[in-house]
């Protein structure tokens, strides 16, 4: 006798679980980290437990899991545990690369002018090079915008980052090192007047850092 699986088994259950996870993950009050965050984490955990329960009792999944060698099951379990641990860890940097799944929590909005801050270095030969965290430190991905660093991590963070980028660049390019770092703000008008292009952003110098070596005595 073939028993019909309950209606809440996959794939129908995935629709409800996916919708619930999406709602509690991304529908916070603006601008992001709000008092609803603990409620969101609790809701995500409950939905995750429901999904685990469904999978554990679903005959095809249970048979697939039972057929795996014990070493494969161990690796599979450690991988899932690491992902869950990273997801429910508020300080994601402490558990990198198991970071939370909320990398892009909000859009920039409908502003007419989009701005961004960038670092540019001026080398000893007069060349201009852009200093990127991902280029100088390939194992690091900078998620925070430069203009939010001092507010998020304390005064002086932007200055420290500028000097660190210059030091790293000079270590990799001893023949033409950076002598100064400029913090500039670029602006792009998303709705330029008729006949004008928005491909070339405007530039504004915010701060300069002198990284020239101290003269020897």
pLDDT in tens, 33-74: 444 555 666 677 777 777 777 777 778 888 888 888 889 989
Are 75 and 127 found together in one domain? no
Residues 91 and 16 placed together within one structural domain of the fold:
yes
Asked, for residue 3, whether it belongs to a domain, the answer is: no
pLDDT at site 35: 47
When comparing pLDDT for 70 and 2, which is higher?
A: 70
State whether 18 and 89 are in the same domain.
Answer: yes
Compute the distance between CA of residue 149 and CA of residue 207 in angstroms, rounded to an integer: 15
Residue 106 belongs to a domain: no
For the segment 1-24, the average pLDDT, to the nearest whole number, is 62
Same domain, 178 and 129: yes
Cα 162 to Cα 183: distance, rounded to the nearest angstrom = 8
Residues 89 and 132 in one domain: no
Q: How far is 21 from 12, CA to CA, in rounded Å?
A: 15
Q: Is residue 216 part of a domain?
A: no
Q: H/E element holding 14?
A: helix 12-26
- Let me know the angle formed at the C-alpha of 117 by 114 and 119, rounded to the nearest 5 degrees: 150
Residue 189, pLDDT score: 79
Domain boundary among 95, 126, 155: 95
| Predicted confidence (pLDDT) at residue 194 exceeds the cutoff of 60 | yes
Tell whether 42 and 125 lie within a shared domain: no
Looking at 95, 123, 142, which one is the last position of a domain? 95
Residue 204 and residue 128 share a domain: yes
Interatomic CA distance for residues 72 and 146, integer angstroms: 43
Which phi and psi (to 5°) does residue 78 adopt?
-65, -40
User: Would you say residue 107 lies in a domain?
Assistant: no
Higher pLDDT, 168 or 53: 168
Number of domains into which the chain is organized: 2
Q: Residue 213 pLDDT more than 80? A: no
Q: Which of 10-19, 51-60, 113-122, 156-165 has the lowest mean pLDDT?
A: 10-19
Last residue of a domain, one of 95, 130, 149: 95
- Give the up-direction half-sphere exposure of residue 1: CA atoms within 13 A in the CB hemisphere: 1
Q: Are residues 18 and 67 in the same domain?
A: yes
Find the range with the poorest average confidence among 106-110, 120-124, 144-148, 181-185. Answer: 106-110
* Residue 160 belongs to a domain: yes
d(C-alpha 84, C-alpha 55), whole Å: 16
Residue 105 domain flag: no
Same domain, 35 and 86: yes
Instruction: Evaluate whether 121 touches 176 at the Cβ level (below 8 Å).
Output: no
Q: Are residues 91 and 144 in the same domain?
A: no
Q: Are residues 85 and 22 in the same domain?
A: yes
* Average pLDDT of every residue of the chain: 76
Residue 44: how many other CB atoms lie within 10 Å? 19
Are 120 and 205 contained in the same domain? yes
In which domain, by residue range, is 91 found?
Answer: 12-95
Tokens, residue 98: 């198991």
Q: How many CB atoms lie within 10 A of CB 30?
A: 8
- Give the tokens for residue 44: 């995500």
């Amino acid at each position: 006798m073939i028993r019909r699986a309950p209606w809440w088994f996959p794939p129908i259950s995935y629709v409800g679980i996916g919708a619930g996870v999406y709602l509690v993950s991304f529908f916070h009050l603006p601008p992001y980290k709000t008092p609803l965050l603990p409620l969101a984490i609790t809701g995500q955990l409950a939905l995750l437990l429901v999904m685990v329960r469904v999978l554990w009792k679903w005959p095809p999944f249970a048979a697939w899991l039972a057929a795996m060698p014990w070493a494969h099951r161990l690796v599979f379990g450690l991988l899932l545990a690491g992902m869950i641990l990273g997801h429910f860890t508020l300080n994601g940097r402490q558990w990198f690369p198991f970071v939370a799944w909320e990398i892009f929590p909000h859009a920039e909005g409908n502003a007419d002018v989009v701005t961004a801050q960038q670092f540019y270095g001026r080398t000893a030969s007069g060349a201009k090079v852009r200093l990127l965290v991902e280029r100088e430190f390939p194992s690091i991905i900078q998620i925070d915008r430069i203009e939010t660093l001092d507010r998020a991590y304390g005064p002086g963070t932007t200055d420290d980052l500028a000097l660190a980028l210059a030091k790293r660049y000079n270590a990799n390019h001893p023949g033409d090192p950076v002598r100064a770092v400029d913090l500039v703000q670029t602006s792009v008008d998303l709705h330029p007047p008729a006949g004008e292009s928005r491909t070339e952003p405007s530039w504004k110098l915010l701060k300069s850092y002198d990284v020239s070596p101290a003269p020897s005595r």
